[in-house]
Amino acid sequence: MANEVMLKFVDRAQAFPPKREAQLRAQDFREIAERYAPPSAEEQAGRCSQCGVPYCSVHCPLHNHIPDWLRLTAEGRLREAYELSNSTSTMPEICGRICPQDRLCEGNCVIEFSQHGSVTIGSVEKFITDTAWEEGWVEPLVPGPARGQSVGVIGAGPAGLTAAEYLRKLGYEVHVYDRHDRPGGLLTYGIPGFKLEKPVVMRRTDRLAEGGIVFHQSFEVGRDATLEQLRARHDAVLIATGVYKARAIKAPGVGADGMVEALDYLIASNRKSFGDTVPAFDDGSLNAQGKNVVVIGGGDTAMDCVRTAVRQGAASVKCLYRRDRANMPGSQRETANAEEEGVEFVWLSAPEAFAAGPETNGAVTAVKAVGMRLGAPDASGRRAPEPDPGSAFDVPADLVIKALGYDAEDLPTLFGASELGVTRWGTIRTDARTMMSNLDGVFAAGDIVKGASLVVQAIRDGRDVSERMHNWLKAQATAPVRKAREAA
């Protein structure tokens, strides 16, 4: 059967689900492509070469069983495909939407190397699990037999939610503490709906709540409880806050009105999508409508910002990035989507200063930029950008969005836990084997350990840390029994 439906990449062209026309999709926050119809998904899954060494799986942080569930999809065995996909990932339909497949599984597909175009792995993954939700194949979260131990998880993003799910399945009482009023972290508030519609996230978090995981929303550790108080409340604590401290730009005029942080801007937009009252959006501070928008940065967050500004009705949207297109960190697919929607990229450019004048009451009017050129490779192997003399130019701007990445917040101070060990980058220092911090029973996972990374990596970390915490908690539970036997 498999031989009949697979290995079709030679005579069957790569075909992604069709995108809506750029002018139409730029008017709303719906996802830009529809889901495959079943025959199309099966046909595209059948292009897989079933190679002996599946580089797609090797380069997936979760090591998903990609060739196997592609084969099952091609054979029309969708429920089995879903069960296999779900066995390694807590959020397959989310990864199918937002993973940079062009840098991971699809970018390392063997048939991509042979110039036939990779298998459309992400789109098939999305199709499989969306179908599972519709057909009722996604089972409720059923907790294991109660162990009499509880875990506190700080942060309701992908790492924290994944660990919470696995630990609940193992029978632990799980409480999740998060600063926002809805769970999901950056999945809910950081990623725009045109990449990840919010009901997709909410059905996942609703499932966890229905499975007995207790969510404490609008809860700030350090304000509502110290880390030490949470340690006293639970048998183990996981810190999975992510990194949210925006990297600063050092340049004259940087404090002018109209200069905003990327995350503040994206959160405001996502809140409006939920129907929330957002004063900073309503007064125009975090709203691009009618403005000349300049986004500074070249990562995925910058792509989210420029495409959001288009949908808000900006007069113009430009993205300044100090390297060229080939060396940008963001997804090339997202860049192409942005260009289709009318975004202008100004490559090899960086801000030197920001102009503001009395005629605008101190609000920004332009970005004073300088052209860049790529010099010798730096320590990372990338060619370092350097100013190109005599290439200064101005870019008119009413709204400047800074999207230069994120660093860790000062958690020891924020959590009232000066004893919490951190690295020189502010990330939590953990034992590589146990994933525990220097505080007994306090674990950490996700971006707060590794720095800003991918959602799929955070899910992997959440899966790994749940196993480490389970092993430690089991040892703690048996320790009193062991001591009693030794005393007898």
pLDDT digits (tens, 9 = 90+) for 395-412: 999 999 999 999 999 999
Whole-number pLDDT of residue 388: 92
The DSSP 8-state label assigned to residue 260 in this structure reads E
Examine the pLDDT at 49 and tell me if it is beyond 50.
yes
Whole-number pLDDT of residue 487: 58
Rg (CA), the chain: 24
- Check: CB of residue 45 under 8 Å from CB of residue 61: no
- Is 141 domain-assigned? no
Name the average pLDDT for the chain: 94
The residue among 380, 404, 428 that closes a domain is 404
> 28 is in which domain, residue-wise?
22-135
DSSP sequence for 13-49: ---PPPBPPHHHHTTS-S-SBPPPPHHHHHHHHTT--
- Is 486 domain-assigned? no
Q: Do residues 81 and 179 share a domain?
A: no
Whole-number pLDDT of residue 58: 97
Indicate which CATH number applies to the domain containing 161. Answer: 3.50.50.60
- Is 6 domain-assigned? no
The residue among 135, 166, 184 that closes a domain is 135
Q: Do residues 157 and 128 share a domain?
A: no
Name the β-bridge partners of 318.
294, 344
pLDDT digits (tens, 9 = 90+) for 343-382: 999 999 999 999 997 777 789 999 999 999 999 888 878 8
- Is 158 domain-assigned? yes
Examine the pLDDT at 208 and tell me if it is beyond 90.
yes
The residue among 135, 161, 179 that closes a domain is 135
- For residues 199-215, one letter each, b for 16 or more C-beta atoms within 10 angstroms of the residue's C-beta and e for the rest, the string is ebbbebbebbeebebeb
Whole-number pLDDT of residue 192: 98
Which strands form 442-444's sheet, in the order they lie side by side? 214-216, 173-177, 150-154, 236-239, 442-444
pLDDT digits (tens, 9 = 90+) for 452-465: 999 999 999 999 99
- Check: CB of residue 278 under 8 Å from CB of residue 204: no
- Is 156 domain-assigned? yes
Q: Do residues 259 and 380 share a domain?
A: yes
Compute the average pLDDT of residues 243-269.
95
- Check: CB of residue 281 under 8 Å from CB of residue 268: yes
pLDDT digits (tens, 9 = 90+) for 285-317: 999 999 999 999 999 999 999 999 999 999 999
- Is 484 domain-assigned? no
Q: Do residues 74 and 183 share a domain?
A: no
- Is 418 domain-assigned? yes
**Alpha carbon distance 40, 37 (integer Å):** 5
What sections of 100-197 are H helices per DSSP? 110-113, 121-135, 158-169, 186-189
Torsion of CA 234, 235, 236, 237, to 10 degrees: 10
- Is 485 domain-assigned? no
**Alpha carbon distance 4, 9 (integer Å):** 13
Q: Is the dihedral of CA 74, 79, 85, 91 positive or negative?
A: positive
Whole-number pLDDT of residue 377: 86
Rounded alpha-carbon distances, angstroms, from residue 449 to 154, 177, 280, 416, 446: 13, 18, 32, 19, 6
**Run of H or E residues at 86:** helix 78-86
Q: How many CA atoms lie within 13 A of 180 on its CB side?
A: 20
pLDDT digits (tens, 9 = 90+) for 463-484: 999 999 999 999 998 876 555 5
Whole-number pLDDT of residue 481: 55
Q: Do residues 73 and 199 share a domain?
A: no
Whole-number pLDDT of residue 2: 47
Question: For the chain, what is the largest distance between any 2 Cα atoms, rounded to a whole number of angstroms?
Answer: 85
Q: Do residues 385 and 419 share a domain?
A: no
Burial (Cβ within 10 Å: 0-12, 13-18, ≥19) of residue 375: exposed
Closest CA to 46 of 69, 80, 16, 19: 69
Name the β-bridge partners of 385.
374
- Residue 260 is encoded by which pair of tokens? 């905003």
**Alpha carbon distance 196, 357 (integer Å):** 39
Domain count for the chain: 3
Whole-number pLDDT of residue 1: 44
Examine the pLDDT at 3 and tell me if it is beyond 70.
no
Q: Do residues 115 and 252 share a domain?
A: no
Name the β-bridge partners of 260.
401
Q: Do residues 309 and 391 share a domain?
A: yes
Indicate which CATH number applies to the domain containing 79. Answer: 1.10.1060.10
pLDDT digits (tens, 9 = 90+) for 385-399: 999 998 999 999 999
pLDDT digits (tens, 9 = 90+) for 420-435: 999 999 999 999 999 9
Q: Do residues 381 and 454 share a domain?
A: no
Compute the average pLDDT of residues 159-172.
98
Q: Do residues 326 and 352 share a domain?
A: yes
Q: Do residues 267 and 199 share a domain?
A: no
Examine the pLDDT at 160 and tell me if it is beyond 60.
yes
Q: Do residues 440 and 417 share a domain?
A: yes
